Amino acid sequence: MIAIVDYNAGNLTSVKLAFQALNCEVEVTQSPATILKADRVIFPGVGAAGASMRHLSELKLIDPIREVIDRGTPFLGICLGTQILFDFSEEDGGTPTLGLLPGRVPRFQPENPFEKVPQIGWNQLKFARTHPVLRGIADMSEFYFVHSYYPAPKQDEIIIGTTSYADVTFASMVAVDNLVATQFHPEKSGRIGLKLLENFVQWTP
Amino acid sequence: MLTKRIIPCLDVINNRVTKGVKFKNNIDLGDPVEMAIMYSNEGCDELVVYDITASAEHRPIDIEMIRSVARSIRIPFAVGGGISTIEDMSRILLAGAEKISVNSLAVKNPSIISEGARAFGSQCIVLGMDPVKTDNLEQCPSGYEITTRGYREHTGIDAVDWARRAEELGAGEIVVNSVDADGTRNGFELTITGLIADAVSVPVVASGGAGCAEHLRDAFSIAHADAAIVAGILHTGHTTIAQLKKELHDAGVPVRMHW
């Protein structure tokens, strides 16, 4: 069973539908027990870092998330889920986040007023490294993004792919051991996004 | 580089996609789910589904149709028509839509924008607007006035003011659907689209008047639109999304080429 962690951070329907399209058994859950017994864990999210950290804490989900990552369960972060895996987000006046990945999450500050924030739409993923989850996907394929903040990892070694927007080239995909995390939304990225999710489902870290 | 989005629009009446000019002479084009799948396979970047009579008939949007579309495509889509409460929005988002588009009802009750943005995030709330050219510069200094209810009602509200206000209230994206250009295939109304794109810091979508790839290029490069809605020329088979994208790509416009 694949657990989709629901911490009141946005609409998870499209995440669920994408895994159902792959014929996976999925459960959208707030239950620590369900997350701990899942074969794979999806950590999605849309919204603000501050409120999300509060919800995670109130729902007592922080320890189960650490535990499944520590014990090697294949783990996929998406969008806000990815951002709050890092140490610190600039959002909401500065929010300390989970600290599972070293790095910060700053806001886009475009010089060009026509580069709007949030970034909304399809942008290219430029591969920095190969990863099993990218099997069968071409370098520079486009994925769907919706975000105002972006991951800035401390270590370049964890960067799997980058994307350029608003004068920065940021880490749009990172991975460490059993953890993969994307700033973009594979579940909304058409056939190519679904391929990434299918690779994740078949991946044995 | 962020690509420019091409967004087909499906106007739905009684579970059928229709196309009319200014809401008149509607012709039946097909099943919304089948058309959503077709356009998604052809490489569209997003979709808009409007239940165009829901509002006039005072009935909720067809949720089963939204669910079927969500099950069938893996790209984002927005839903509009007859949305007047947070509960309506919640039902549509839980059915699998990415965004909610509000239009006439937001003019009457602007707090629906702020309530929606607070409940679901600004990225979910799209403001659609139907500006028309006006000589009433005293009330509407931009020269464009907001109309509502399928262009039937003039509001006396300046289009650029309304766009700024909607952004402040929390709209995450603004669709500028020109009444004057709609259905003409003579190109988007670049003036008002550009005025709004330059006045707000959220993405702006050009709508109404698409006739060929050059019109889209102009909306992106001259009017600074981030995306464009295309309907009639696709529905009638005059062109395809792949063809539009190829022409835009050849003209140096960044568009998504892998799908």
Residue B231 lies in a domain: yes
Residue B81 lies in a domain: yes
Residues of B with Cβ-Cβ distance to A197 under 8 angstroms: none
Residue B46 lies in a domain: yes
Tell me how many domains chain A contains: 1
Q: Looking at the predicted structure, is the pLDDT value of residue B23 above 60?
A: no
Q: How far apart are CA B156 and CA A88, in angstroms?
A: 47
Q: List the single best residue of B90, B124, B200, B256 to mutate versus A (max A Cβ within 10 A).
A: B256
Q: Does B55 touch chain A (CB under 8 A)?
A: no
What is this model's ipTM?
Answer: 0.93
Q: List the single best residue of B5, B6, B42, B74 to mutate versus A (max A Cβ within 10 A).
A: B74
Q: List the single best residue of A12, A109, A122, A188 to mutate versus B (max B Cβ within 10 A).
A: A122
Q: Is B250 a catalytic residue?
A: no
CB-nearest to A123 from B3, B198, B224 is: B3
Q: What is the CATH number of the domain that holds B71?
A: 3.20.20.70
Q: What is the CATH number of the domain that holds A126?
A: 3.40.50.880
What average pLDDT is seen over chain B? 93
Q: How far apart are CA A116 and CA B173, in angstroms?
A: 10
Q: State how far residue B256 is from chain A, nearest Cα, in angstroms.
A: 6
Q: Within 10 Å of residue B87's Cβ, how many Cβ atoms? A: 10
Give the mean pLDDT of B179-188: 90
Which domain covers residue B30, as residue numbers? Answer: 5-250
Residue B257 lies in a domain: no
Give the mean pLDDT of B206-223: 97
Residue B203 lies in a domain: yes
Give the mean pLDDT of B173-196: 94
pLDDT of residue B166: 98
**Rounded to 5 degrees, what angle do the CA atoms A196, A199, A204 make?**
140
Peptide bond into A118 cis (omega under 30): yes
Q: Does B94 touch chain A (CB under 8 A)?
A: yes
pLDDT of residue B59: 79
The CA–CA distances, whole Å, from B248 to A83, A119, A148, B224 equal 34, 21, 27, 15
pLDDT of residue A47: 82
Residue B210 lies in a domain: yes
* Residue B97 contacts residue B78 (beta carbons within 8 Å): yes
Q: Looking at the predicted structure, is the pLDDT value of residue B26 above 80?
A: no
- Percent of all residues in chain B with a pLDDT value above 90, rounded to a whole number: 80
Q: Is B51 a catalytic residue?
A: no
Q: State how far residue B127 is from chain A, nearest Cα, in angstroms.
A: 15
* Residue B90 contacts residue B112 (beta carbons within 8 Å): no
The series of mean pLDDT values per 10 residues for chain A, 205 residues long, is 92 95 97 98 91 95 98 97 97 94 96 88 98 98 96 98 97 98 98 98 97
pLDDT of residue A25: 98
Tell me how many domains chain B contains: 1
Which domain covers residue A153, as residue numbers? Answer: 2-202
Q: State how far residue B57 is from chain A, nearest Cα, in angstroms.
A: 28
Q: State how far residue A72 is from chain B, nearest Cα, in angstroms.
A: 29
Residues of A with Cβ-Cβ distance to B72 under 8 angstroms: none
Residues of B with Cβ-Cβ distance to A120 under 8 angstroms: 123, 172-173, 203, 226
Report which of residues A175 and B57 the model is more confident about.
A175
Residue B41 lies in a domain: yes
- pTM, two decimals, is 0.95
Closest-CA residue in chain A for B258? A141
What counts of helices (H) and strands (E) characterise chain B?
10, 12
Residue A186 tokens read as 């594979």
